[in-house]
Amino acid sequence: MHNMIVGKVIGGIVGALVTIRYGLGLYAWRVSELLERPKYSVVERLPGGVEIRSYEAYVIAEATMQGTRMRQSMGPGFGACAGYIFGGKNRVRGVSLKRTSRSMSMTAPVRMEMSNAATKVSFVMSANETVRSLPVPTDSSMALRQIKPHTAAFVRFSGKPPSEQRVAKERARLEEALAKHGYAVVRPEETLTYGYHDPFATPNLLRRNEVGLYVAKKRTWTV
């Protein structure tokens, strides 16, 4: 009898903890869904969940991590970007007598650009900001950069933040779909990885990850 009571109490506690965990996870997902994102229009949807997008221009705050190892770059890169937008590592332009900083709003997605030379982690700045209106980064690894209007292809999947192996797998799937439907990869040395949700609080099932490539439609010649 005693064991049954203890078992029910433990079961109730575990059930309550699971409910709280997923309740907090759902809240984190909802908060992330409300964050500002870069503006784009969908050009075409291909089989296999591939989406071709035309992006408007936007500004990023970007940390460059030397080396190409994704896992080794993500933590320091994210930390540098967070330090910039939350006001600890920036200086408002035109202030010379004292160091004055300001904070900025969190947006989505968190971007990674991976190439053979380096891995770049970046946060997208709000649409009302420009390179000149933003404060100057004081971290030497950080820089502000405007991303010009462009076309990119993305494949979307849920789950935990992807490993390098998962990114390579999704890129290969993306390249296959693009080749079949007349798209060329215009910057093949770069792979984009986008994360839209808190990797700690949001449940894997609700988390949105994307792997992308810069693309252009191949010309078709007629005689």
Within a domain: residue 21?
no
For residue 172 the two structure tokens come to 């290969």
* Residue 98, pLDDT above cutoff 70: no
Within a domain: residue 213?
yes
Within a domain: residue 24?
no
Within a domain: residue 71?
yes
pLDDT at position 202 is: 85
* Residue 14, pLDDT above cutoff 50: no
pLDDT at position 30 is: 75
* Residue 20, pLDDT above cutoff 70: no
- Domain interval for residue 96: 40-217
Nearest to 154 by CA among 65, 62, 59, 40: 40
112 pLDDT band (50/70/90 cuts)?
very high
100 pLDDT band (50/70/90 cuts)?
confident
Within a domain: residue 22?
no
**CATH number of the domain residue 177 falls in:** 3.20.80.10
Contact, 68 vs 50, CB < 8 A? no
pLDDT at position 94 is: 73
201 pLDDT band (50/70/90 cuts)?
confident
Q: How many CA atoms lie within 13 A of 100 on its CB side?
A: 8
Q: How many domains does the chain have?
A: 1
- DSSP structure class, residue 36: B
Distance CA 175, CA 202 (A): 29
Within a domain: residue 26?
no
The model's pTM is 0.84
Q: Mean pLDDT in the chain?
A: 86
Helix axis angle for 70-85 and 164-180, nearest 10°, is: 90
Within a domain: residue 183?
yes
Beta-ladder partners of 63: 121, 142
180 pLDDT band (50/70/90 cuts)?
very high
List of residues 6+ apart from 148 with CB closer than 8 A: 57
Within a domain: residue 123?
yes
pLDDT at position 221 is: 45
